[in-house]
Amino acid sequence: MSRIIYGIYDDESDLMSGIENLQAKGVKCVDAQSPFPVHGIEKLLNVPRTRISIASFMFGATGTTLALWMTWYMMVHDWHINIGGKPNFMFYMNLPAFIPVTFESTVFCAAHGMALTFLLRSKLLPGVTAPIPHPRLTDDKFVLHVEVKNESKLDETAGLIKASGASEVLMKSLQFA
Amino acid sequence: MSEAVNAKFEAVVRDPLILGHKSYHQMTEDICRPVEGKANKYWWTAFIISATTMTWGILCLAYTIGNGIGSWGLNKTIGWAWDITNFVWWIGIGHAGTLISAILLLFRQRWRMSINRSAEAMTIFAVICAGLFPLFHTGRPWLDYWMLPLPNQFGSLWVNFNSPLLWDVFAISTYFSVSLVFWYLGLIPDLATIRDRAITPARKFIYGLLAFGWKGTARDWLRFEEVALVLAGLSTPLVLSVHTIVSFDFATSIVPGWHTTIFPPYFVAGAIFSGFAMVLTLMLVARKVLSLEEYITIQHIELMNKIIILTGSIVGVAYITEFFMAWYSGVQYEAYAFQNRAFGPYWWAYWSMMTCNVVTPQLFWFKRIRTSAMATFVISIFVNIGMWFERFVIIAVSLSRDYLPSSWTMYSPTFIEVGIFVGTIGLFFTCFLVFARVFPVIALAELKTVIKKTGNQYKHKGVLHK
């Protein structure tokens, strides 16, 4: 049965060199937790590029469509009023006046849709309990998640993690969503 | 190898942005201290004064609701005066927060990281203050939902999408909600830091809820940074659109002095100008009271002052351009409106505006002045006052004398109007003071990523690395 053990590093450069060191020895590093974004770690850990900006674009396109439909329906189709000698007969003739609302609606949907996607995708919601292997993880400690395939190799892997520059090795079991 | 491992000091010729010898843990300690410790007497004094002022404003608003806007000094000729002046002024102030957090992010300006959190908070509070004015100026604020495109009981009569006032409703509500989300998403990792440091169960529970279960895995950070980047990209045109649309309220009308194509860029520059002045006013006090001088350094103040010179000069050029166009267009009403501004009965408002906005910021060309905290504080107050007068001159003075001399009149505010305005200042500072005690005022996680590139103790190492 495989399990995860945690290597604690004191600096992001120790973490990065630690990962390279361990990977060279065939140890499987699955994830890392850090108090701030460590650039380049996603390549080492083979984390694919996020597609959240594509989601944002699609939410934005939805916002544009909704606003165009809404202005057409309310101003041109359902009840067109002649305000100050400026009637609302044709959608394309009034379109310039609808641009500001269309723009705002696009930004509104793109921003909020993306923010919600991010929260749901990263399982961030009020009431969620965070799996925190080390209490100073959000302060100045860097945690590497190492997968151990075989229980018998536990001590050996812990030794390798220690040798790669980790200050501590923790054997906890935490539930990661 | 990665950028983080090879972290080099940004550029050897640049001064460090974070002073002192800071480790990651020391940064956490410094920035969490105002949240975790007890408030000092300066905080309580400021809080009591602003909360009292806010209460006065609430009483004046209650009086307005009970008696209608007849309790304000508005009349048939001047239908927009203090209320809309204050609205435009506050909205403008909010713009600096988004400029710092979004536009400077796109330009990769690392110095923004010490000030973006509090500037964004300032944006949100300023927009709340701004929003109050049009909401109460409707006279029947309980019917404000009529501004939303809802089907209603009068047949399906909809809101008018051709009107700049409705564009304002959309622009400002989008601006407010997007700024709020941008600010809060940035706060999540720092709230998690406070959660993990919490000693009392109550604090652990509350910050646990607020931090949304943040765990900081590689995937989380990847998404977090992508979201911040895309939100910055969305907020940049958004912030420009907001003041553009506010200026359309005036520019699309036919009132002489309002009907001008220069308004959108002129209003946006003025907004950033006044916003930076307010950021400086707040930061200069906050860095002292919260002892954050090593994070918000004189260099930060100097950089903001440079933006003030730039935007202040743009505003100055816009004033002159308006005058030139009034003459060059040959429209007699336009020419009269501008002559009236400078030499009519409201000359004092015009010249206060010119002095505060065009003359005083030019003092920042002197390095001694732009690197002095005291001088900056005084000039930032001048700019705040000047920008308030700019809005007053554009709005009330233009209305006071338009096409029909028989309806020319003067305007003076009632104590209720003054009370509401002063009350919003109280509200703004109350919100900011509470924010400074509840949330970390500096974007801690973000700042940790640049300590090796901008911190004092790494500058020397950067030289060695080369």
* Choices 1.10.1040.10, 1.20.1630.10, 2.102.10.10, 3.40.47.10: CATH for B24-149+159-465: 1.20.1630.10
**B339, B365 in Cβ contact below 8 A?**
no
> Tell me, what DSSP letter sits at residue B393?
I
Report, as an integer, the average pLDDT of B41-56. 93
* Neighboring chain B residues of A87 at a CB cutoff of 8 Å: none
Helix (H, G, I), strand (E, B) or coil at B152: strand
Nearest to A132 among B166, B215, B445 (CB): B215
Is B460's pLDDT higher than 70? no
Q: What is the per-residue pLDDT for A79? A: 81
* Neighboring chain A residues of B226 at a CB cutoff of 8 Å: 50, 52-53
Q: What is the per-residue pLDDT for B3? A: 42
Which of these, B55, B83, B119, lies nearest to B286 by C-alpha position? B119
Q: What is the per-residue pLDDT for B459? A: 66
Beta-carbon separation of B159 and A13 below 8 A? no
Report, as an integer, the average pLDDT of A86-106. 89
Beta-carbon separation of B215 and A52 below 8 A? no
Q: Does A9 touch chain B (CB under 8 A)?
A: no
Which of these, B279, B268, B269, B267, lies nearest to B305 by C-alpha position? B279
Residues in Cβ contact with B460 at an 8 Å cutoff, skipping those fewer than 6 apart: none
Q: If contacts are CB pairs under 8 Å, which of residues 108-167 in chain A contact chain B?
A: 108, 110-112, 114-115, 118-119, 121-132, 135-140
- The CB-based long-range contact list for B345-354 (8 Å cut-off, 24+ gap) reads B345/B400, B345/B410, B346/B393, B346/B396, B346/B397, B346/B400, B349/B389, B349/B392, B349/B393, B349/B397, B350/B389, B350/B393, B350/B397, B352/B385, B352/B386, B352/B389, B353/B386, B353/B389, B353/B390, B353/B393, B354/B319
**Distance between CA A40 and CA B319 in Å, rounded?**
49
* Neighboring chain B residues of A98 at a CB cutoff of 8 Å: 161-162
Q: Does A52 touch chain B (CB under 8 A)?
A: yes
Angle between helix axes B263-289 and B41-67 (nearest 10 degrees) is 140
pLDDT digits (tens, 9 = 90+) for B371-413: 999 999 999 999 999 999 999 999 999 999 989 899 999 999 9
DSSP B316-331: HHHHHHHHHHHHHT--
* Neighboring chain B residues of A123 at a CB cutoff of 8 Å: 213
Q: What is the per-residue pLDDT for B2? A: 39
CB atoms under 10 Å from CB of B26, counted, come to: 14
**Distance between CA B269 and CA B262 in Å, rounded?**
11
**Distance between CA A137 and CA B192 in Å, rounded?**
10
DSSP chain A: --EEEEEEESSHHHHHHHHHHHHHTT-EEEEEE-SS--TTHHHHTTPPPP-HHHHHHHHHHHHHHHHHHHHIIIIIII----BTTB----HHHHHHHHHHHHHHHHHHHHHHHHHHHHHHHTT--TTPPP--SSTTTTTT-EEEEEEESSGGGHHHHHHHHHHTT-SEEE-------
> Which of the listed ranges A55-59, B99-103, B285-289 does the model predict with the highest average pLDDT?
A55-59
* Neighboring chain B residues of A86 at a CB cutoff of 8 Å: 162
Beta-carbon separation of B234 and A110 below 8 A? yes
pLDDT digits (tens, 9 = 90+) for A110-127: 999 999 999 999 989 998
What one-letter code names the amino acid at B180?
L
Residues in Cβ contact with B117 at an 8 Å cutoff, skipping those fewer than 6 apart: B183, B186, B187, B439, B440, B441, B442, B443
**Distance between CA B88 and CA B68 in Å, rounded?**
22
Residues in Cβ contact with B160 at an 8 Å cutoff, skipping those fewer than 6 apart: A75, A81, A83, B166
Q: What is the per-residue pLDDT for B1? A: 35
Q: What is the per-residue pLDDT for B154? A: 63
Is A154's pLDDT higher than 90? no
pLDDT digits (tens, 9 = 90+) for B272-322: 999 999 999 999 988 888 888 888 989 899 999 999 999 999 999 999 999
pLDDT digits (tens, 9 = 90+) for B201-220: 999 999 999 999 999 999 99
Is B143's pLDDT higher than 80? yes
Is B253's pLDDT higher than 50? yes
Q: What is the per-residue pLDDT for A155? A: 84
pLDDT band for position B264 (50/70/90)?
very high
pLDDT digits (tens, 9 = 90+) for B170-204: 999 999 999 999 999 999 999 999 999 988 999 99
Q: Work out whether the CA dihedral B402, B408, B412, B417 comes out positive or negative.
A: negative
Is B7's pLDDT higher than 60? no
Beta-carbon separation of A104 and B227 below 8 A? no
Task: Give chain B's length.
Answer: 466
Q: What is the per-residue pLDDT for B8? A: 59
Residues in Cβ contact with B260 at an 8 Å cutoff, skipping those fewer than 6 apart: B250, B251, B322, B325
Q: What is the per-residue pLDDT for B466? A: 33
DSSP B168-229: HHHHHHHHHHHHHHHHHHHHHHHHHHHHHH--SHHHHHHHHHHTTT---BHHHHHHHHHHHH
> Tell me, what DSSP letter sits at residue B74?
-
pLDDT digits (tens, 9 = 90+) for B109-135: 888 888 889 999 999 999 999 999 999
Report, as an integer, the average pLDDT of B31-38. 87
Beta-carbon separation of A74 and B161 below 8 A? yes
Is B12's pLDDT higher than 70? no
Query: Facing residues of B153 across strands?
Result: B155
**Distance between CA A44 and CA A23 in Å, rounded?**
9
Tokens at B18, concatenated = 């974070």
Q: What is the per-residue pLDDT for B121? A: 93
Beta-carbon separation of A130 and B24 below 8 A? no
- Report the range of poorest mean pLDDT among B37-46, B47-56, B57-66, B245-254: B37-46
pTM (2 d.p.):
0.92
**Distance between CA A119 and CA A137 in Å, rounded?**
20
Establish whether this prediction's ipTM goes over 0.90.
yes
What one-letter code names the amino acid at B239?
V
Question: Hey, which bits of B338-384 come out as E strands?
Answer: none
Q: What is the per-residue pLDDT for B40? A: 83
* Percentage of chain A exceeding pLDDT 70: 98
Q: Does B108 touch chain A (CB under 8 A)?
A: no
- Report the range of poorest mean pLDDT among B16-20, B75-79, B286-290: B16-20
Q: What domains are defined for chain A? A: 3-49+129-170 (3.30.70.120), 52-121 (no CATH)
